[in-house]
Chain A
């Protein structure tokens, strides 16, 4: 269905509003992991940076270094079966 010019402008205008969560076609959001955070970054279709739209705690927060260090003790239970 064709849109009248006025309606088209209105839809375009609505999508660019601060309260809109719609994502214009071709634009994308990527998650960038930085330390313990995940940063949501909005990019143009040609991967140009538009802005940061959110920051959240990374649930998979254990880096490789954290995974191999500082548990505080040696967990060797599995090598001593009952």
Chain B
């Protein structure tokens, strides 16, 4: 079970919400002098159909929430039979040979294969988390050479995270609960927590060497 049947009367980490704008600020380069502030920046605002709460449950409130838009999944995911059976497998650790389609695994040079085997049971697509199909989500078509697939799987990308001020979000309970559409089950929320924690907690190789 990916979604909770009976939702809490509170906003929770991983909830699917509607009615919150997404903001993407862009600059051409660093604005190093205040006099150039008016040059070369852009702020895109749009209204995604659904957003996902990425504030930890206890940190929702005080008029601030962290969100990310729910977006369509990559069509190439459907080329991997292991993912095709259940796209939410991308959310969990897997065996090395399950991370790519079998035809690609077979063609891996021995060094590449060895690299993955040494890595063992682990995550892939660290920045992504798949949201299970739901009748609430609009279906869309994945265009493929062999056959098109209709799906309503969606996903979030941790790199798209932004904060939004909303004075009506005072506490998790004292918030616009009519904007809440879906709540993750305990297990799915735990998987989201594990994966995003891993995403931020991984140590680059350059730092690992100094820890040895």
Contacts and interface: CB of A to CB of B under 8 A. Distances in A.
B150 interface: no
Contact of B111 (A66, A68, A70, A82): A68
B77 A80 contact: yes
A18 interface: no
Interface residues of B, number: 30
A82 B76 contact: yes
Given A62-B205, A73-B202, A74-B99, A80 B119 contact: no
A79 interface: yes
Contacts of A80: 74, 76-77, 79-80, 125
A63 to B, nearest CB: 10
Interface residues of A, number: 20
B202 A72 contact: yes
Interface of B: 74-77, 79-80, 94, 96, 99-101, 104, 111, 114-116, 118-119, 122-126, 198, 202-203, 205, 208-209, 212
Interface of A: 36, 57, 61-62, 66-77, 79-82
